[in-house]
Structure 1
């Protein structure tokens, strides 16, 4: 004779809604899996700054007069900034535009998930990809151009805050500009063209900046890319290389001020311009 068993009632813990932190972590996992499954996009993201570095490094292999360092080492520091900017600004803006166009944002807005989880997922994605980008560019710089890695903890601390402020600022700007394109096709020229211009006027490809006309120097100094590149150069280059900067010094205080201002400004732009639906959806 069998004894009937009554089903156990679910516990209070099992009925409890997932926390915001767990939802953010879950969304971050989704973003990372989607990125690494797109092999073509992943390879292009990581290879683009490396290919540029190798091409330009093979052209500008001369020694900087009076400093005793090759121009290729300046390019490595600049390409770290360009890689971070490309990953966090260009790729993020395109990704969010794609999510808006294919209805992903609209669907996520209709599920019981806090909006912050979507943005945390994107931030985790760009942090991971930007960090991987930096490691790859540094490996090429050390292996091909004898870039010396600093042994001073202070320099690595400088690298950390420049990297974090740069990632946050560029990610917020990429999120804000994603509301401008009407489609993914339109996003590529809208996002890539200004970023390409900024690379030239921010000292990524042209150092010293004094080689540029004064108006272009002033224009580039408005945006974060120039200050990211200057900050990374201060980490990996000797102090004598500061003479190549516009002010003749590394200006760490000003770098921190400008990058923080762009983080705050980018946040304000996101809060006022971000759209969950495409223009055609009303």
Structure 2
């Protein structure tokens, strides 16, 4: 039985909010779940832009105090240095995204490719967790420009759907010497410029597909994404302070294999 459109919007909004800031690939989940729900046409792709905006506004709200200090303290060296680090980390993926946007959208946005990336990314996390990594940076406030550049380079891998932006930046942070909490928090803050840039680029490219009649569907997905992201960000930070990322790696591998088996048949 075909689900009502508002129910599909609610499901996809929750999926986006739950997965955007975890190392499991929100884009990959949206592609697979959207395909299963039959909501993967041009309208569905525009809908995904809207719910991604909802998720990023959720983390902005969670970190509103830190964002406020960054804005009001731009005349201080500490905040200028932190903003520079965010810019350095933002730049590699922004440049590669602009150069390869069409090719990625055309050739890589399909469930089978995503499922493969989920599996490979899961094994990559398992490998990184077994490396003898040394923690040099215990707070995102004290990371240096080279640390930011390493995280930015790692983030470029997330342009491949299914890799996970959060997963790439957090794992990149661990390899660069950040603690789990510092890498996770910097990933949250770095999500703001890269996701805002990607969202508004997509909005400008697809604004003709927006119609007033779609407002209830888009609003449902937006609110669901915003609320679920609010909840997940707080829970995830508590989790990483006492656990590693092995469980997420196993989830990625199992989910990717199930998706591959489904689409193979």
Range of TM-score over shorter length: 0.3 to 0.5
Structure having greater relative contact order (Cα 8 Å, sep ≥ 6):
2
Whichever structure has more helix as a proportion of its residues is: 2
TM-score, normalization by structure 1: 0.31
Q: Structure 2 length as normaliser, TM-score?
A: 0.32
The structure with the larger Rg is 1
